[in-house]
């Protein structure tokens, strides 16, 4: 889930550049963690995931974990300051 956000960062930068004086190398660097290597790093990550998902159960566990990460992130964003439980 978090690794996939690097792809979204690329898209956000392009949108920001349309209306604001931003650059992937300077004030939009937060959205461009891997710079020009995003596609290569994403491919490596996908290959690593594929090598770890040896069974259908492995794949289900990985998907559930990603879903839980989204749930926790949503809980954190929506919670009043300091009230998210672990």
Q: What is the pLDDT of residues 41-51, one digit of tens each?
A: 999 999 999 99
Which pLDDT score is estimated for 5? 84
Domain count, the chain: 2
Q: What is the pTM of this model?
A: 0.67
Whether residue 44 is found in the same domain as residue 64: no
Domain holding 83, by residue range, is 55-86
DSSP line for 2-66: TTTHHHHHHHHHHHHHHHS---TTTTTGGG-TTGGGHHHHHHHHHHHHHHH--SHHHHHHHHHHH
* 19 in the same domain as 47: yes
Whether the pLDDT of residue 86 is over 70: the answer is: no
What are the backbone dihedrals phi and psi of residue 46, each rounded to the nearest 5 degrees, phi first?
-60, -40
**79 DSSP 8-state letter:** S
The answer to whether 2 touches 65, Cβ cutoff 8 Å, is no
- 45 and 4: one domain? yes
Q: Are residues 85 and 62 in the same domain?
A: yes
Q: Are 58 and 52 in contact (CB under 8 A)?
A: yes
Whether residues 43 and 62 share a domain: the answer is no
Tens digit of pLDDT for each residue in 10-56?
Answer: 889 999 999 999 988 888 888 888 888 988 999 999 999 999 989 99
């Amino acid at each position: 889930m978090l690794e996939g956000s690097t792809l979204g960062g690329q898209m956000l930068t392009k949108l920001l550049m349309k209306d604001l004086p931003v650059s992937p190398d300077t004030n939009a660097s937060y959205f461009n963690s891997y710079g020009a290597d995003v596609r290569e790093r994403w491919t490596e990550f996908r290959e690593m995931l594929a090598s770890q998902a040896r069974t259908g159960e492995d794949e289900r566990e990985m998907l559930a974990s990603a879903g839980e990460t989204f749930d926790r992130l949503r809980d954190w964003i929506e919670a009043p300051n300091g009230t998210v439980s672990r």
